[in-house]
Amino acid sequence: MYVFCNTAAVVGFKGREIRLQANSVWRADDPFVKANPEYFVAAPEVVESSSGVIYRGVEQATAGPGEKRNR
């Protein structure tokens, strides 16, 4: 399983510096990830597509093709 970094930073960890890049992909079982969960999310912050950029967390106004919306 993988997680996505949610920030760009340099963080000290076990005597060395770890450089984080926003939206980079990390293994969920990595010791740094387990020790610093605040830097990671289960889904990327930004998802790109050929029709533009879709931002995670922005509610879609209408149902997608084949999607049924709850009332």
pLDDT tens per residue, range 8-66: 999 999 999 999 999 899 999 999 999 999 999 998 877 888 887 777 654 555 555 55
- Cα-Cα end-to-end distance for the chain: 33
With CA atoms as reference, report the closest residue to 9 among 25, 23, 26, 21: 21
Q: Is residue 70 part of a domain?
A: no
Domain membership flag for residue 28 = yes
Whether 4 shows a pLDDT value over 60: the answer reads yes
36: domain range?
A: 2-55
Question: Would residue 50 count as lying in a domain?
Answer: yes
pLDDT digits (tens, 9 = 90+) for 25-37: 999 999 999 999 9
Residue 51, in any domain of the structure: yes
Question: Is the residue at 49 inside a domain?
Answer: yes
pTM over 0.85: no
CA–CA separation, 39 and 3 (whole Å)? 10
**Number of independent structural domains in the chain:** 1
